[in-house]
Structure 1
Amino acid sequence: MNAHGSLGPPLKVMMTGLSQCLWRKLASKIIHRHFHTSNKRSVHAACKLSTRGVLRLSGKDTASFLQGLVTNDVQQLVEKSPSIQYSMMLNVQGRVLYDLFLCNVSEGPDSPMTVLVDVDSTVRDELAKIFKKYKLRKKVDISDVTDEYTVWSEFQTGESSEKSVTPSYPSDAFCFHDPRVPVFANRILTHGDNIGELKTVDEKEYRVHRYLWGIPEGVNDLPPGNCLPLESNLAFMNGVNFQKGCYIGQELTARTFHTGVTRKRLMPLTLDSDATIDRDSTISTEKGKNAGKFRSNEGTTGLGLLRLAHVKDTLSVMGSDGQSVTLTCEVPSWWPANVVTASSS
């Protein structure tokens, strides 16, 4: 964040095999496609994420403690304050437990490291217990500070004819580019509910925004113990480091990555009607083949874990009312090129 409280240059995206130049080209296409294809003006909107809680870790061993637990390289987070990193905690079988945003908010290089952990609020007690279980003798203080902080996402939308306004954040807010995907959104942590002069929108609108981009978040999109990180596109979202040392669940993740083949991926879906669909309902092709599992939706947008060989097929899923719902799938424009053809062959 610069001296005026606005966001500085985007965080460096560290993705295997994808150059910064290519990311800039992709980002340009994404901006044009999502923000400039409507006659309506793009406006900045902020959404209060009431579904997220915040834990605070502080103490001289905070970095080394987290380094052995999460999928990303926490040492890179140490280099700058404030800074943010996307990561996950896995179980010993290498399946996702929690998706995390780690925010380094240390006061200075000579002060003990302080990290705010942005996590699904329904599992923050479980996460705190796991942290305390692995703490052992490390000098780390762990506390729930959900009542002190509010998590926001600020993004551009074409849903209004209002005049576009340059965002102005509260002076004590921690403001970051969302580390998962360039130009998708900004992640903001505030003390209390003050978000400045930004227009606020309902959390449903944020979920639609995420689903259109194919980005999961929280236990509804990433059911604990049921998801593999690479199938959930963790490597695409700057959330894993394959050069760091050991962490829980590393072996299976590294082995899958180095085989170079992931045949199923979490992808955005468009439903032909607004429907209630049970999680893990089978998605089928016209010929009745199993194409994947339905994950979640908001109205006519959603996410599903699909076999890449079937992404161009006509797909359907059974709604909770017993009626068939037709689905279409689109490969996100921010994915690296040739992912579908390379993984489905």
Structure 2
Amino acid sequence: MVQTPSYVRLASRALIALGGADWRDFLHNLISQNVETLAQDEVRFGALLTPQGKVLYDLFVIGGGDGCWLDVAAEHRDAILHRLMIYRLRAKVTIAAHEAEVAVLFGEGAAPGEGWLADPRLPQLGWRGYGAAVPQGATVGEESDYEAFARSLGVPGPADWGVEQTYPIEANFDLLNGIDFKKGCFVGQETTSRMKRRGTVKTRFLPIAFDGEAPGPGAEVLAGELRAGLVLSGAEGLAMASLRLDRIEDADLSVDGRPVRVVRPDWFEQALKQ
């Protein structure tokens, strides 16, 4: 766990600005998160899904006075802009790239000031800043430091769910405040709601621990001779994996002949019980 406040600029993230009379209804009907009740200076986590219910793009929605910002993966911003333009039709919505920097502040003793907003997924993830100054006393770190920190908490990221590869519930969006099941229709809602209602979630993203370097993405996690999952992203000692829940209980797991163990974060266990 990070013991001192750390500031990291996220070059991997970029912003899109939405405005106009219809921006709230427009976005609310598209994404997995509730936008109708979004307050100014509030951040909510969600996703834009395919009609079949798989994650296209994750996003954070930041409430503003007359619109909102979308905090998205920088490499996909142009594609997201294009998709939003397609969905806009006759809605009175303005959609444009916005160039404020995205940063995070995390670790014990982090004391945010103006421009810092609480990460809606987990309190331990700290704060997200949009054009915010480096807080006094914070250590400036690298993006890989933040990725390792999030992984240590068992929180997956875009490198794990990819594009059109994963159902959001498998990537724990439901446990990390990324899906509002009471909001009504959104793109991909039918499949997402059915998985939740029927309790058919057989696969979840969880960290695996091991000695040495991380296995490569796509390496098989085996329970004896049975395939129990796949490695997603990782670094020395810890990786995120997509795991079959029915095959990992009390099983001796291995990857590339090396023993691994599943790490089940406290927040994960608590959220499943709710």
C-alpha displacement of 1:187: 1.3
Q: For each residue in 1:179-235, what CA deviation from the matched residue of structure 2 results, as whole angstroms up to 9, or x when unmatched?
A: 0113332111116xx4232211111111111111111222x1111111011111111
> Paired residue for 1:68?
29
Q: How high is the TM-score relative to the length of structure 2?
A: 0.92
Report the count of equivalent residues: 271
> Paired residue for 2:185?
246
Q: For each residue in 1:248-282, what CA deviation from the matched residue of structure 2 results, as whole angstroms up to 9, or x when unmatched?
A: 100010011001231210001223111350x2322
1:156 aligned to which of 84, 107, 110: 107
**Residues 144 and 315 (structure 1), Cα distance of their counterparts in 2 relative to 1, 3 Å cut:** same
For 1:180, give the aligned amino acid: R
Q: Distance in 2 between matches of 1:203 and 1:301?
A: 17
Provide structure 1 residue ranges, at least 5 long, that are not aligned to the other structure. 1-33, 36-41, 107-112, 158-163, 319-323, 341-345
- Across the aligned residues of Structure 1 and Structure 2, the Cα RMSD in angstroms comes to 1.9
> Paired residue for 2:211?
272
For 1:86, give the aligned amino acid: F
> Paired residue for 1:203?
143
Following superposition, which runs of at least 4 residues in structure 1 exceed 3 angstroms of deviation?
336-340
1:235 aligned to which of 167, 174, 184: 174
**Residues 134 and 46 (structure 1), Cα distance of their counterparts in 2 relative to 1, 3 Å cut:** same
Q: Distance in 1 between matches of 2:102 and 2:125?
A: 16
> Paired residue for 1:294?
231
C-alpha displacement of 1:167: 2.5
Provide structure 2 residue ranges, at least 5 long, that are not aligned to the other structure. none
C-alpha displacement of 1:143: 0.9
> Paired residue for 1:38?
none
> Paired residue for 1:45?
6
C-alpha displacement of 1:335: 1.9
2:111 aligned to which of 167, 186, 195: 167
**Residues 105 and 88 (structure 1), Cα distance of their counterparts in 2 relative to 1, 3 Å cut:** same
Query: Is structure 2 residue 127 aligned with structure 1 residue 189?
Result: no
Q: Distance in 2 between matches of 1:275 and 1:258?
A: 35
**Residues 125 and 311 (structure 1), Cα distance of their counterparts in 2 relative to 1, 3 Å cut:** farther
C-alpha displacement of 1:55: 0.9
Whether the aligned pair in 1 keeps the contact of 2:60 and 2:70 (CA below 8 Å) is: yes
Q: How high is the TM-score relative to the length of structure 1?
A: 0.74
**Residues 233 and 275 (structure 1), Cα distance of their counterparts in 2 relative to 1, 3 Å cut:** closer
> Paired residue for 1:89?
48
**Bigger Cα Rg:** 1
**Residues 46 and 295 (structure 1), Cα distance of their counterparts in 2 relative to 1, 3 Å cut:** same
Q: Distance in 2 between matches of 1:254 and 1:168?
A: 36
